[in-house]
Amino acid sequence: MINLHSRWMDLRRLDELAANDTEIHRLNPCTKIVTTAIFLIVVASFSKYELISLFPLFLYPLTLMNRAALPFSVIAKRVFATMPFVLFIGIFNPLLDHTPGFQVGPFLISNGWISFFSILLRFILAVTSALILVATTGMDKIGSALLRMHVPKMFVIQLMFMYRYLYVLLDELSRTLLAYSLRSFNETGLPFRVWGPMLGQLLLRTIDRAQRIYQAMLCRGFSGEVRLLRYNALAKKDIAYCLGWSAFFLAARIYNIPQWLGALLIGRY
Amino acid sequence: MSHHIIEIKDIEYMYPDKTKALDGLSLRILHGEAVAIVGANGAGKSTLLSHLIGVLIPSSGTVRIGDYPLNKETLTHIRRSVGMVFQNSDDQLFMPTVFDDVAFGPLNMGLPPEEATQRALDALKTVDAVHLKDRPPYKLSGGQKRSVAIASVLSMLPDILVMDEPSAGLDPYCRRQLITLLQSFKHTKIIATHDLDLVIDLCERTVVLSNGKIIADGPTLQIFNDDVLLQKGRLEKPLRMQGCPICKPAIR
C-alpha cells in the first residue's frame, strides 16, 4: 500500500512528458486533437469481426511515440491499467457467439473470439492514441484548443477540473491509505468494513481540498478562460500532418493492407 | 499608488454548521502597515483572512478595501490588489510547471504573453527561484514551494499581501530567508501566524484574536510584554523575549 505514493508520482509523468519539446509537441494542439478524433472514428468504424486489417493502424501510435520520445513503458503501463474494463465488455462474446470463424491447424476459432480480440485491439489503439495526445500536448493546451474550436466553455472547464481534481483525489487517497496501513498490522489489503468510512472521509476531504484550490485559482483572477503563454499557430506542417495521417487512416480502412501485402508476396514469389 | 486602507466594520461570520467564527470584529489597517494576526487555533485568523479576499462573505457587517466595498461586483478588482499566500502551498500551485503557475495570475489579468512572461520572471527573481522555473511544483521542497507560492502572488503586483502561516513547515534557514524577503517588501502586509518571533521581525502592529473577537490591538512589543493578555489569548511570550534558561538559569 505504501507503494501507492510512488505510483501517484508516476501518474504525473504524463504532465512532465507534455512539457517536452519535440516536433510532435510543437504541433498545433487543434491539429493533434482533430487527427486523434479522426483516428478514433476510423478505429471505431471497422466491422465487428475485423482483426488483421487493424494492425496497420498501430503505425500511428508507434510513430508518434518514437518521434515524440515517449517512453513505451509509460504508455503501456497506463493501457494495461485500463484493461479490466475492456475485458468485462468483451468477455461475453466468446461465450455467446459460437459461429465458426476460421481454422488454425486443428483449432477452430469462433467468431466470438475474433470479435473479442477485435474489441481488445481497437481498445488498445484508442487508449494509446488518447494517452499520446495528452502526453504530447498537455491538458491545459488541449483545453485552450477545445475553446478555440468552439467547444462550449462549460464542457472544457468540466474536463480541465476533472483532470486536476483527479490528482487531488489520488493524493488524498494515497495519504489516507498510508495512515491506515501504518496503524493496521499484519493486514493485507483493505478490509471491507473500513471501506465505507474511508470512502466517505476521502470524498469530504477531497471536496474541501478542491474548494481550496478553486479559491486559490479565483484569487489569481481565474474566470473560466484558459490563457496560455505559448500558443503554436496553425502552420503548413500542421495541415500536412493532419491530412497525411487522415489519408493513411482511410487507406487502412478501405484496403486490407496486410492481405494486400501478403498477396503481393505470394504473387511475386 | 492609491492608498489602500482596509476597513472592516462589525463583521460576523457563521460557518454552515453554526460555529460562529467571527463575532462583531472591526479593524482598520492603513497603507503600508505590517500587521500580525495572532491567536489560538480556531480563534478565527484564517476566517478573517478569507474575508479580505472575498473567499468568504460576512453574514453581517462590511469590508472595504481601498475605495471599494467588497461585494460580488468589486471582487475582481479587489483580488487584483490583494494577493493571498495560502497556508498550504500545494493548494496554491496547480499548474504543470512553476513558470506556468507564476504566469497564471498575470495572464488572467489579461496581460499579453510577453508581459506576463516578464512579470513571472521578475517575481521569480525576487524570491530567488528562477532556476526552478521548469520544474513541476509538486516535486519542490517545502521552502521552494513557499517561495514559488509567494512569487505567484507577487507577479500580479498586489498592493496588499495577505499571508496565512507563512513560516509553517519551513526549516530555520528558509524561515530566515522568508523574513528577509518580506522585510524588503513595501506592500501592506497582513500575516496570520503562530510564529511570534517572526512577528517581532516583521510587524510593528499586532492584533490578538480570541473566539472570533479582537481582544487586543496595538504595538507588537507592548502586546508581547503583557503576560495576562498573552495567557488570555492562549499565547506565549516569543522565545526571544524569554530569559535564556541555559545562559541564565532561573534562581530557585
Q: Provide, rounded to the nearest whole percent, the portion of chain A with pLDDT above 70.
A: 93
- Judge: A221–B80 Cβ closer than 8 Å, yes or no: yes
What confidence tier does B1 reach under pLDDT thresholds 50, 70, 90? very low
Pick from A77-91, A209-223, B20-34 the range whose average pLDDT is largest.
B20-34
pLDDT at A89 over 70: yes
The parent domain of residue A170 ranges over 162-231
Q: Listing from the earlier edge strand, what are the strands of the sheet with B6-14?
A: B20-29, B6-14, B60-65, B68-69
Q: Work out the average pLDDT over B224-230.
A: 94
pLDDT digits (tens, 9 = 90+) for B120-177: 999 999 999 999 988 888 888 888 999 999 999 999 999 999 999 999 888 999 899 9
CA distances from B161 to B31, B48, B73, B176 (A): 11, 14, 21, 18
Tell me, yes or no, whether A190 lies in a domain.
yes
pLDDT digits (tens, 9 = 90+) for A231-260: 677 889 999 999 999 999 999 988 888 888
Residue A177: partners with Cβ closer than 8 Å, 6 or more residues away: A1, A4, A190
Strand ranges for A131-249 from DSSP E? none
Domain shared by A10 and A103, yes or no: yes
Q: What gap in Å lies between CA B161 and CA B181, rounded to an integer?
A: 13
Domain shared by A112 and A88, yes or no: yes
How far off is chain B from A70, nearest CA to CA, in Å? 18
B190, B49 contact by CB (below 8 A)? yes
Tell me, yes or no, whether A153 lies in a domain.
no
Q: Residues of A with CB below 8 A from B156's CB?
A: 220-221
Amino acid at the residue A250: L
Tell me, yes or no, whether A74 lies in a domain.
yes
- Judge: B88–A221 Cβ closer than 8 Å, yes or no: no
Q: What gap in Å lies between CA B142 and CA B168, rounded to an integer?
A: 9
Determine the pLDDT at residue B63: 93
Q: Residues of B with CB below 8 A from A140's CB?
A: 95-96, 100
pLDDT digits (tens, 9 = 90+) for B81-120: 899 999 888 888 888 789 988 999 999 888 998 999 999 9
Q: Provide, rounded to the nearest whole percent, the portion of chain B with pLDDT above 70.
A: 97
Q: Work out the average pLDDT over A219-224.
A: 83
Q: What gap in Å lies between CA A204 and CA A207, rounded to an integer?
A: 5
Q: Residues of A with CB below 8 A from B88's CB?
A: 212
Cell numbers standing for residue A100 = 465458426
Split into its structural domains, chain A has a count of 2
Residue A221 touches chain B, beta carbons under 8 Å: yes
Give the largest CA-CA distance in chain B: 69
Tell me, yes or no, whether A156 lies in a domain.
no
Question: If you average pLDDT over every residue of chain A, what do you get?
Answer: 85
Q: What gap in Å lies between CA B155 and CA B152, rounded to an integer?
A: 6
Distance of CA A62 to the CA centre of its chain: 14
Tell me, yes or no, whether A151 lies in a domain.
no
Nearest to A67 by CA among A253, A244, A247, A265: A244
Domain shared by A9 and A117, yes or no: yes
Domain shared by A227 and A242, yes or no: no
Determine the pLDDT at residue A269: 52
Predicted TM-score (pTM) of this structure:
0.77
Domain shared by A17 and A101, yes or no: yes
Q: Is B91 exposed, middle or buried (0-12, 13-18, 19+ CB in 10 A)?
A: buried
B46, B21 contact by CB (below 8 A)? no
- Judge: B53–A219 Cβ closer than 8 Å, yes or no: yes
Nearest to A221 by CA among B108, B162, B85, B111: B108
Q: Provide, rounded to the nearest whole percent, the portion of chain B with pLDDT above 90.
A: 64
Cα end-to-end distance, chain B, whole Å: 57
Domain shared by A181 and A95, yes or no: no
Cell numbers standing for residue B220 = 507588537
For helices A72-81 and A111-137, give the axis angle rounded to 10 degrees: 130
Domain shared by A196 and A255, yes or no: no
pLDDT at A203 over 80: yes
Q: In 3-state terms, what secondary structure has residue B82?
A: strand
Cα end-to-end distance, chain A, whole Å: 58
Cell numbers standing for residue B113 = 504573453
Q: Residues of A with CB below 8 A from B152's CB?
A: 220
Tell me, yes or no, whether A33 lies in a domain.
yes
pLDDT digits (tens, 9 = 90+) for A136-189: 998 888 988 898 889 988 888 888 888 878 877 887 888 888 888 788 776 677
